[in-house]
Structure formats: structure tokens, C-alpha cells
Amino acid sequence: MENRTIGVVMNGVTGRMGHRQHLVRSILAIREQGGVELADGSRVQLQPLLVGRNADKLSELADRYGLKDWTTDVNGAIADDDYSIYFDAQLTNVREAALRKAMETGRDIYTEKPTAESVEAALDLARLAKSTGVKNGVVHDKLFLPGFRKLRRLIDGGFFGEILSVRGEFGYWVFEGDWQAAQRPSWNYRAEDGGGIVTDMFCHWNYLLEDLFGTIDSVNSLAVTHIPTRWDEKGAEYTATADDAAYAIFEIGKTVVQFNSSWAVRVNRDELVELQVDGTKGSAVAGLHRCKVQPRELTPKPVWNPDLVETTPFRDQWHEIPDNEAFDNGFKVQWEQFIRHVVDGEPNPYDLLSGARGVRLAEAGLQSSAEGRRIELPELSL
């Protein structure tokens, strides 16, 4: 069997996510293991071309990882026939034009999200992919994390019976930046630069909830800016113009989903994101890595009595789901899935239309907050 090499333009690898998750833990890890294994047993090796705006950073990354190919000329990289896949991890406000250029050049594309700044622009990208016939994918990394894969297994096995409700909690305290450096970039808190937790996280919640429980029918949300003043990377004070927390209710058929997202909350849970799923036959709490359950048969009988100090060890009454398999990095797993989609034609539901649904949920979430009402979400189509 003859192995082959595919060139991948990687735009935005000097950023935190592009560097750590996509370059190091995905592409370089795939190269180290000898490529992506295909259905016939052959392998596809990946050759990255690093692209960005800062030549010094690109040169340093290339030297650090022993890569020879980098450039600040994104148009030249897209036009290079040695690289048939274009990957984008740039800021959202410059992503759409690059994706459009790549598809018009005939490149298969794989991209971070949000795919565009508006749902109409995101749908236009999906329509362009359909008209050009290029393979396309959007990063849906959280679907491949151990905790949510265990949760998926429970759902598929009928553990919950009828799923009644879901409660999601995400977030942590992001330092303001005055006396301790913030652990997120300052643009995240400027609406004019594409910042905001709704824009950032609702795209994730859309594909996660959609894959686990079904299509989201409506959203009712409140987006707020709890911390109005922050300090940027250079220590300069600035006004936060984007939301840093959102409190939402999503309806999925008869299932009610309450989801809190916040960069202004101190963590009192096992993981930074958790879902509690309650059903008629059992409940589960799933995070990025762990998943624990309480079936109907083992559900205790709490009794409300505010006159007594509660001594029941509620957390100890849940049972851990074992790994039962070795879980690889979620970003890497999806990269491998996308490469098999490109080469073998393996089905890929995580496409630009799926990405557009994520953008639509974020847009509807902001609209709901601004207008103080529930927003219904009709089916999106091309």
C-alpha cells in the first residue's frame, strides 16, 4: 500500500489555540505517529505550512519544531498547489475572507469557530463550499473529550430513559489584569474586536447539545458584563464592551437545558465545564474527562429539614464511569476524522452548515438578551 503526504496551510498558529492544540497536539502528534491511518491500512502524512502576520514568531515556531515551511503571505500559501488543505485559527473578524479565498481556489478547508461574524455570512460560506464541491469541516473538539464520550455512551444505551433536563455550568474567574495578568487575551472583552462569551461559547454549546440531545428549538438568554474595567497585555486600563457572562435556557423538544457561562465565577465543581443530565431512569454529571452516574435503583431519599445540619455525603452517592478505552486528544481525533473524510470520503457532519448553526445560536442569544424575549430557531438550510 502506497502512503501519501498532504500539505496543510495552517493560518493562525502563533495564537494559543492554534499553537498548542492544532499544531503541537494534533498535526505534530499525527506526524510523530506516522500519519493518519486510512480504511485500507495505508497512511496519510501531513506537511504543515505555518502562516501568520508575525515573521519572528513564525520563524521561532518553525525552528522549535524542526519545520522548514512558513510564510506571512497567506494568499501565496493558499495558491500553492503543494498544500491542498487550508486551516484557519485566526481571529473571527478576518476568518471569513480567508476561508472564501481558499474555497474559491479549490482548497478543502478546516476551520475554528465562529466561522463568521453573522449567520448570513456563515451560511454564505456553507453555500460556497457546496457550489465549489470542496470538503469542509469545523472544529467540534468537545465532542471527542472523554467525559462527553462517556455521556454519549450512556445516552445510546438508554440509561436515562426520558431525558427531562440538562444543567450546564462553564467558566472560571479571569483576572482583571491589574494586579495579576489575565489568562485570556484582552480582545475577548471588546465587542468591536469580536469578543464576548456568547459569541465564543454558544458555538460550542450548539454542537455539543445538538450531538447529545438534538436540535435546539429556542433560546432565552441574558448576557451581561460583570467586570466593566480590565487591563490589557501592556497594563493599560480599558473598558470592557463585551459580555463576560451569559445565563441561558435552551429548549430541545421536551428537554429543558439551563446553561450558565461565565468568566466572572469562582469554581466550585470538579471540572471547568460540567453537564448534569436528569432522566426518568437515572442521572449523570459529565465534564471534560469524568462522568459519574446515579441510576434510579440507587437513588437515595433526601428529606428536607432546615433545622438539622446536613450530614449526607451527596457527592459520594454517585458512581464513576470507567474509561474502558484510551482517550486521545480531542482536537487530534477530529483532525484524523477530517483527513479520513477528505481522503476516504468518510461522512463528516461537522461541516460549515453545522458551524452556521453555532453562529446562529450565538446571534439569537444576543438578540434574546437585547430584546428580553425567547427566540425560536427554525431549521437552517442552504
C-alpha to C-alpha distance for 279 and 301, rounded to whole angstroms: 16
- What per-residue confidence (pLDDT) applies to 1? 61
Give residue-wise pLDDT tens across range 289-312.
999 999 999 999 999 999 999 999
- Average pLDDT rounded to a whole number, residues 86-107: 95
The per-residue pLDDT for 382 is 86
Domain ranges in the chain are 4-142+330-351, 144-328+360-375
Q: How confident is the model at residue 3 (pLDDT cuts 50, 70, 90)?
A: confident
Residue 360 pLDDT level (bands cut at 50, 70, 90): very high
Q: How confident is the model at residue 92 (pLDDT cuts 50, 70, 90)?
A: confident
pLDDT of residue 198: 98
Mean pLDDT of 90-109: 95
276-280: average pLDDT: 98
Residues of the chain with pLDDT > 90, as a percent, come to 96
Instruction: Reply yes or no on whether the pLDDT at 40 is more than 70.
Output: yes
Over range 21-41, report the average pLDDT. 96
Evaluate if residue 64 carries a pLDDT over 80: yes
The answer to whether residue 126 scores a pLDDT higher than 90 is yes
For 262, how many CA atoms within 13 A lie in the half-sphere containing its CB? 18
pTM above 0.85, yes or no: yes
In degrees, rounded to 5, the angle at the alpha carbon of residue 303 between the alpha carbons of residues 297 and 307 is: 160
**Which residue type does 140 have?**
H
The mean per-residue pLDDT over the stretch 189-218 comes to: 96
Residue where the block lists cell 440507587: 298
Please give the C-alpha separations between residue 266 and each of 51, 171, 177, 261, 275, in angstroms, as whole numbers. 37, 8, 16, 12, 17
pLDDT band at 42 (very low <50, low <70, confident <90, very high): very high
Q: What's the grid cell of residue 279?
A: 432522566
The SS3 call for residue 366 is helix
What rounded mean pLDDT belongs to the chain? 96
Which of these, 270, 234, 219, lies nearest to 372 by C-alpha position? 219
Give the chain's largest Cα–Cα span: 74
> What's the confidence (pLDDT) of residue 93?
87
pLDDT at 187 over 90: yes
What's the average model confidence in pLDDT over 71-76? 97
Q: What is the pLDDT of residues 155-186, one digit of tens each?
A: 999 999 999 999 999 999 999 999 999 999 99
- CATH number of the domain at 144-328+360-375, out of 3.30.450.80, 2.40.50.140, 3.30.360.10, 3.50.50.60? 3.30.360.10
Q: What is the CATH number of domain 4-142+330-351?
A: 3.40.50.720
